[in-house]
Structure 1
């Protein structure tokens, strides 16, 4: 078993200067979670604290990061069997928490962790903001923090999460969401995206860019960028109609892909094609084609130097106005802003 001991500065240690001006970041590593769920946010906030100290951008400010155990012991065993030694148990924290992040949450604790859930419920009104990484959303939901709010979680758990908590607006697409002072993120690496977004809120884009350079990260995958590409999802459909149509549609995006043409290509009646397609994919053929056009356009924006006009033409999105409207509907950001954000990210590393 690998031991990771005292991975962040000891809680209350005297070499933190001055702790009363630093934002206290409390990360709660849950048993059995991925190590990156924990280490990602820890490294982001720790790196930014170092940058602020080195540059003097915000004298005396920054972050103090501690790990707080939800158990009666300070030792946490991660999914990879690495052992983490937390600085403190959650109930022993005696200073105001600025940011509280729950990293992961084992399903077995849904019924066996009333002590931690009660603590989470009681501490929430006192923190400036609270967040979760991956299935840490379950902990926030159990504590009643997400009721009536928008949230995301790992795509594999999104349907179970929605069924279990119908009062929460679940969106399985974004890397992270924010609803008021409550933040949720998807799987594993998205905890880094969430932490970088928090840093940018606190200290601005320049500091976030410096952190991205230091950690060799992209700044930033927008929260509403899909966490799981439809171009990848379609391959899981195997012998479905969409799976068979997918390669052909990619090659013919510039053409008319109305449902009548798709049905004809599959040698099916229009009515039967619509019925089977909806059953297999959960969406109409028209919506699927539109999502596919946007997905391909997104990849062109990320990876090519094609003009907006060329991308719109290649993806069958009509003119610039039509492309912008369609892209905004799916990505909640304009094509030009999406490209600008991504290219700024590349230049940052």
Structure 2
């Protein structure tokens, strides 16, 4: 079986689980990963692990290709303080890099900048990174905000963490934001969603450079999906943007108590002692969606909890949550979460119950009561 790189004609042959490469010209791809904030180590460590693991396979196969990976700080002091209590001293700051870069990835974003605008030199440097000096420019999680601030992604299709999509679209209306995706590619711009999505994006880059077979081997080594099933929408709450709205906040618990019942607009309006017309107008103004759509999202959120935490049958969950039959619930899940109820349960059900062990932590002492 043979395959080719995307950007060259270098041939690869896979034989007995080995990658044999016929071109012995040394090819280093410079990868610069900028750790904007260390709140999540995985933001920048995840992609780095993908590229460095790829190097191991390339070396073992006799290839002269490799990634030259650098973790760079966005500040002149070269320091990154992480939320894990670890302080990192990088070998370089981004502003010290004057040469061309193969792949530049900005990880996360500093929303609370210091009064002296500590990161302005970095944004000035970043704004000068174009297709002429950087083959690929990517971001992880909130790093999309950094690319937007530097003016690099105007009119591009991008993604970010599912919980930041509205903020990104509001702050940068010229962008085309789709946070259903784990990662997106638009020209030479690559953006990824929350935290672990940076691994998905890095694996896609490896596949572009060295082909599908090698990307699969790296994914297996890291025990991750090469193509992760589903979309980011599975992870986010459908109601997060409505929690602070007046009428939706008042209605949410009441709707949850009557999920299995008919919940038309007239009944909801009567519960609030409002006319149907006035309720519909005020609710839509506050939330941006019709009442029926809100009720549907409450139903799906409750169905998600039952799928995660119980062994109730899918038919029973559909009935309890007022989602009609199983076919109707499946269509609703596909439309709102881009996954089926059964696939959602497999991905998110209570972790310990998935092991098949009823009591994985057996106490050696009987001094603990149920109340403990």
Superposition TM-score, scaled by structure 1 size: 0.70
Rate the CA distance shift 1:63–1:326 in 2: closer, same or farther, 3 A: farther
Whether 1:41 and 2:44 are equivalent positions in the alignment is: yes
Match of 1:119 among 128, 146, 153: 128
Q: Which has the higher helix share?
A: 1
Whether 1:284 and 2:290 are equivalent positions in the alignment is: yes
Shift of residue 250, structure 1, vs aligned partner: 1.5
Spell out the pairing of 1:210-225 with structure 2 (5 A cutoff).
211-212=222-223, 222-225=230-233
Give the corresponding residue for 2:341: 335
Rate the CA distance shift 1:57–1:285 in 2: closer, same or farther, 3 A: farther
8 Å contact kept, 1:301–1:338: yes
Give the corresponding residue for 2:93: 89
8 Å contact kept, 2:104–2:136: yes
8 Å contact kept, 1:150–1:177: no
Match of 1:170 among 140, 165, 177: 177
Whether 1:249 and 2:260 are equivalent positions in the alignment is: no
In 2, Cα distance between the equivalents of 1:94 and 1:322?
56
Which residues of structure 2 form unaligned runs of 5+? 1-23, 208-213, 356-372
The C-alpha deviation readout for 1:240-275, integer Å capped at 9, x for no partner, is 222222122123222211111111222221112112
Spell out the pairing of 1:39-118 with structure 2 (5 A cutoff).
39-43=42-46, 45-46=48-49, 49=52, 53=56, 65-76=69-80, 83-90=87-94, 91-92=96-97, 94=99, 96-98=101-103, 100-106=105-111, 108=117, 113=122, 115-118=124-127
Bigger Rg, structure 1 or 2: 2
Rate the CA distance shift 1:325–1:273 in 2: closer, same or farther, 3 A: same
What is the aligned length?
A: 315
Q: Which has the higher strand share?
A: 2
Shift of residue 28, structure 1, vs aligned partner: 0.6
Give the corresponding residue for 2:141: 133
In 2, Cα distance between the equivalents of 1:127 and 1:306?
51
SS at 2:128's partner residue?
A: helix
Shift of residue 168, structure 1, vs aligned partner: 0.6
8 Å contact kept, 1:98–1:129: yes
Higher relative contact order, structure no. (Cα contacts within 8 Å, ≥ 6 residues apart): 1
Which residues of structure 1 form unaligned runs of 5+? 1-17
RMSD: 4.3
**Greater CA deviation, 198-207 or 285-294?**
198-207
Shift of residue 81, structure 1, vs aligned partner: 8.7
Rate the CA distance shift 1:64–1:82 in 2: closer, same or farther, 3 A: same
8 Å contact kept, 2:182–2:200: no
Give the corresponding residue for 1:29: 35
Rate the CA distance shift 1:232–1:130 in 2: closer, same or farther, 3 A: closer
Rate the CA distance shift 1:312–1:198 in 2: closer, same or farther, 3 A: farther
Superposition TM-score, scaled by structure 2 size: 0.66
8 Å contact kept, 1:35–1:79: yes
8 Å contact kept, 1:41–1:195: no
8 Å contact kept, 2:101–2:133: no
Give the corresponding residue for 2:281: 275
**Greater CA deviation, 242-251 or 67-76?**
67-76
Shift of residue 158, structure 1, vs aligned partner: 4.7
SS at 2:251's partner residue?
A: helix
In 1, Cα distance between the equivalents of 2:264 and 2:271?
11
Shift of residue 232, structure 1, vs aligned partner: 5.5
